Amino acid sequence: MTSKTRPWVQIPLSPPLKRQPVFMTGFSFWAYILNRLNRTGGGYLAKDSVNIRLNTALGQNFLKNDRIARKMAEFIDLPVGSTVIEIGVGSGILTRVLLERGFAVVGFELDRRFVEVNHKLEGPACKLIYEDFLKADLGSIPDYVAYVANIPYYITSPIIERIMFEGPRFSSALLMVQKEYAERLTASAGTKEYGVLTVNVNTFATVRELFQVSRSEFIPHPEVDSTVIELRLLERLEELPDRDGYRAFIRHCFSQRRKKLTNNLKSLIDSPDELLLSCGIDTSVRAEELSINQFKKLYSLYTLQREAGHGPENRSDREPGSL
Whole-angstrom distance, CA of residue 6 vs CA of residue 176 = 20
φ/ψ bin of 322: left (φ > 0), alpha (ψ from -120 to 50), beta (otherwise): beta
Whole-angstrom distance, CA of residue 147 vs CA of residue 225 = 21
Whole-angstrom distance, CA of residue 142 vs CA of residue 180 = 33
Cβ contact 247:322 at 8 Å: yes
Helix, strand, coil shares of the chain as percentages rounded to 5?
Answer: 35, 20, 45
Cβ contact 151:175 at 8 Å: yes
- Supply the DSSP symbol for 144: S
Whole-angstrom distance, CA of residue 199 vs CA of residue 182 = 13
Task: Give the SS3 label for residue 188.
Answer: coil
Cβ contact 149:175 at 8 Å: yes
Q: CA angle 187-277-239, nearest 5°?
A: 55
Q: Which residues carry a binding-site annotation for S-adenosyl-L-methionine?
A: 61, 63, 88, 109, 132, 150
Q: Which residues carry a binding-site annotation?
A: 61, 63, 88, 109, 132, 150
Cβ contact 294:171 at 8 Å: no
